Amino acid sequence: MKNDIGHEISPALAKKLGLQVHKKATVKDTATLAERLQKNGKLMDSLEDAIRAAGLKDGMTISFHHHFRDGDYVLNDVVKKISEMGYKDITVASSSLSNAHAPLVEYIKNGTVTALQSSGCRGKLADAISKCEVTLKQPVIFRSHGGRASAIANGSLHIDIAFLGVASCDALGNASGTNESGESMCGSLGYARVDARYADKVVLLTEKLAPYPNLPASIPATDVDYVVKVDAIGDSSKISSGATRYTKNPRDLMIAESAAKAIIASGYFKDGFSIQTGSGGAALAVTRFIEGEMSEKGITADFALGGITSQIVKLHEQGLVKKVLDVQGFDGEAARSIRDNPGHIEIDGNQYASPFNEGSAIHQLDVVILSALEIDTHFNVNVLTGSDGIIRGAIGGHPDTAECAALTVIVSPLIRGRIPCVVDKVGCLITEGSVCDMLVTDVGIAVNPRRPELADRLKAAGLTVKTIEQLRDEAYAVVGKPDDLKFGDKPVAVVTDPQGRALDVIYNVVQ
């Protein structure tokens, strides 16, 4: 047979090769760039139009990113609209949930939202879940950042529609977490990039359309289906708050200083090393205390990883950290730097922490400093539930990085108020103790017995090394041994490990 243009094609041959036979081009679009941008099929007039166009149906899974942390508007605005449009039985799979998402309580009560997947949960929403004041059709699934990214990539977390707030975006969807004016910037869109790549449909929300082409882009137009302009996507001033605060608390600073000394003595503080500081006042502040030693001894880090702060940016701009690999910005300075510094590079959730690929950055990590809500005498760490058993934190990259870093340092005060942080058994298991190498507190350092060489190095450097049982006893001596918590029999959440396997179950609390 002949094709439309009169050239001979054997249909059998085409079929054998799995090819269709060419058809003549339809009428060519002769509109100019400016005209095309006006009439392109991606740009929606309203959020409602975008939701309809993306084909939302009852029972679907929608996703969000948490790069604006407590300042996020997008999740609430989208769920409100979806509720108004009458949809039911929606699963919300956000990269995390914060204090800002208390309105979800109402949308769970009215049946719009029936399931949640997240890295963490805080505030009124977390309270309502822990106390069974709201009923979901299944327990919340908590995943680490690496666990979530790999679950999306391998299909175990399937996203029907991703709704992603972006600081700049052109009419075709080339999007970034930064913009020229600096308004409403979140910096890295590391977690959102995974959603954009794998979700069936991707809707971007932005405050102001950028001229085409908005490149380089975090999310390429080819991953995007719809773009909609909204009044506001988030309050970037609230990114650096709570767990990502810049601490001035003297006890946090004291712990950070001890942790810095321990790292310097550990044998891992060498030219070309790599480092990550997790969220939490003391953990983030460690950077401030190794800076002097780095410049004095001429030691530079090949890369710093993770949630990035102004403190890391400062080291990078001084030449002490060669490259910054940024999956999430923790403050405005990190957002500015990822826009302006060529050595400050955005990586996505899988490049950051895929447990299944040796090429992900966590596999090249020398030192990670991580916080704990509580840690037990087996070095198991809880960062998700409070001492009262109520959900109040997030897994984040805790188990991902703890498992892979050569040296995993946990920092925590011995007690918080009357709450002991070193206990007999953690209320919720997030990171198993076998991968946590040392605990630095305000009254001394405990080294995991699996790493005797580290204890020797710390002692040789004159640091106070105690057993973890000693630290627990010191805590109980001040505050008393706590009563056991009373839990109900209803599982409200399941914690998964980075590989996506069930690790622990959180039950409802009984008052």
Cα four-point dihedral sign 434, 493, 241, 228: positive
Piece in contact with another protein (CB under 8 A), picked from 12-20, 226-234, 364-372, 476-484: 476-484
Asked if 132 touches another protein (CB under 8 A), the answer is: no
Cα four-point dihedral sign 214, 220, 222, 224: negative
In the complex with another protein, the residue whose CB is nearer, 128 or 436, is: 128
Asked if 483 touches another protein (CB under 8 A), the answer is: yes
Asked if 509 touches another protein (CB under 8 A), the answer is: yes
Piece in contact with another protein (CB under 8 A), picked from 18-26, 253-261, 279-287, 475-483: 475-483
Q: Taking CB under 8 A as the criterion, which residues in 395-424 touch another protein?
A: 417-419
Cα distances (Å, whole numbers) of residue 211 to 83, 224, 471: 33, 16, 58
Q: C-alpha angle with apex 248: 244 to 249, nearest 5 degrees?
A: 95
> Who contacts 282 (Cβ-Cβ below 8 Å, separation ≥6)?
247, 252, 253, 255, 256, 259, 371, 411, 412, 413
Asked if 479 touches another protein (CB under 8 A), the answer is: yes
Binding mask 134-163 for another protein (x = CB under 8 A): ------------------------------
What is the rounded distance in angstroms from the CA atom of residue 18 to the CA atom of residue 246? Answer: 58
In the complex with another protein, the residue whose CB is nearer, 164 or 509, is: 509
Q: Which structure tokens are listed for 504?
A: 């622990």
In the complex with another protein, the residue whose CB is nearer, 306 or 420, is: 420
Least distance in angstroms from the C-beta of 142 to another protein: 22
Q: Which structure tokens are listed for 122?
A: 């805080």
Binding mask 287-316 for another protein (x = CB under 8 A): ------------------------------
Piece in contact with another protein (CB under 8 A), picked from 39-47, 75-83, 241-249, 473-481: 473-481
| DSSP 8-state symbol, 460 | H
Asked if 389 touches another protein (CB under 8 A), the answer is: yes
Least distance in angstroms from the C-beta of 482 to another protein: 4
Asked if 478 touches another protein (CB under 8 A), the answer is: yes
Least distance in angstroms from the C-beta of 417 to another protein: 3
Asked if 242 touches another protein (CB under 8 A), the answer is: no
What is the rounded distance in angstroms from the CA atom of residue 294 to the CA atom of residue 266? Answer: 14
Asked if 388 touches another protein (CB under 8 A), the answer is: yes
Binding mask 334-373 for another protein (x = CB under 8 A): ----------------------------------------
What is the rounded distance in angstroms from the CA atom of residue 50 to the CA atom of residue 85? Answer: 12
Asked if 387 touches another protein (CB under 8 A), the answer is: yes
Least distance in angstroms from the C-beta of 483 to another protein: 6
Q: Where are the alpha helices (DSSP H) in 318-395?
A: 332-340, 349-353
In the complex with another protein, the residue whose CB is nearer, 11 or 480, is: 480
In the complex with another protein, the residue whose CB is nearer, 375 or 463, is: 375
Q: Which amino acid is at 128?
A: A
In the complex with another protein, the residue whose CB is nearer, 369 or 373, is: 373
Asked if 281 touches another protein (CB under 8 A), the answer is: no
What is the rounded distance in angstroms from the CA atom of residue 438 to the CA atom of residue 429? Answer: 17
Q: Which helix (H) or strand (E) holds 196?
A: helix 190-198
Least distance in angstroms from the C-beta of 404 to another protein: 34
Number of residues that bind another protein (CB under 8 A): 14
Piece in contact with another protein (CB under 8 A), picked from 3-11, 83-91, 173-181, 472-480: 472-480
In the complex with another protein, the residue whose CB is nearer, 19 or 510, is: 510
Helices (H) and strands (E) in the chain, counts: 16, 28
| DSSP 8-state symbol, 483 | P
> Who contacts 260 (Cβ-Cβ below 8 Å, separation ≥6)?
286, 289, 290, 293
Asked if 480 touches another protein (CB under 8 A), the answer is: yes
Query: For 226, phi and psi rounded to 5 degrees?
Result: -140, 150
Asked if 486 touches another protein (CB under 8 A), the answer is: yes
What is the rounded distance in angstroms from the CA atom of residue 25 to the CA atom of residue 393? Answer: 56
Contact in structure between 279 and 307 (CB atoms under 8 Å): yes
Tell me the DSSP string of 143-190.
--HHHHHHHHHHTSS--SEEEEEESEE-TT--EES--SS-TT-----H
Q: Which positions touch another protein (CB under 8 A)? A: 387-389, 417-419, 478-480, 482-483, 485-486, 509
